[in-house]
Amino acid sequence: MRNKGPTKFIKGTICAASAFGLLALWSSTASAASAPQQLYNKSITLSWGESGVYKRLSDGGSSSPIGQFQIIIYVSGAGRPFVRGSSKSGRFGGTKDRGPEENSGNVQFAGNTLVTVRENLGIARRIVTTFDGSFASCSSTVTIGKIGANATITGFDGAVHQVISMQPGAASCSISNGNALAN
């Protein structure tokens, strides 16, 4: 595969040939190991905000929404991750649930680290969560990768937008007993 140019990152810099190459690189940082037993029957909640500048492809209109994102990961008694992702900006938003089969490669545990990858057309979000030794508390960071100068995403309004810039805000993480997805 030929390198089509440097990939611009919102936070950090790396070169990649394509979105596939970027996701393969990100996925290789954590093995597909099972969840640690200390997280069985627990829910992990990750939350952060994002801001950016976007150009709607249908009419060229620009927007600068501020979005709120949340991922809840319930680790079952068998160590299988169930995920609910939600996003909201103003009157637009959505929620998607994924079972363990759909999470293959997108939720990975390695020791006391959880790596979650979420894709949206020409961008990917990588959320790295680190747990303390007793798995009682956690902290998370979000990195956004943009594939090429003309990367696009599906916006909060459902339309396709060119990404001019994106910045993640500070992330929070919490752990609770039980299945938060059952509520």
Q: Does a structural domain hold residue 12? A: no
User: Is residue 8 in a domain?
Assistant: no
Q: What's the predicted TM-score (pTM) here?
A: 0.79
Q: What is the pLDDT of residue 120?
A: 86
* Inside any domain, residue 93: yes
Q: Is residue 112 part of a domain?
A: yes
In a domain, 40, yes or no: yes
pLDDT in tens, 27-37: 333 334 689 99
**Residue 78 falls within a domain, yes or no?**
yes
As for how many domains the chain has, the answer is: 1
pLDDT range class, residue 21, cuts 50, 70, 90: very low
Look up the domain containing 121 and give its range. 19-177
- Residue 144 in any domain: the answer is yes
Q: Specify the long-range contacts of residues 156-161, CB closer than 8 Å, at least 24 apart.
A: 156/65, 156/67, 156/87, 156/88, 156/89, 156/90, 156/92, 156/93, 157/92, 158/92, 159/56, 159/57, 159/58, 160/56, 160/57, 160/58, 160/121, 161/54, 161/55, 161/56, 161/57, 161/63
Cross-strand pairs, 88: 68, 93
In a domain, 3, yes or no: no
Q: CB neighbours (10 Å) of residue 95?
A: 11
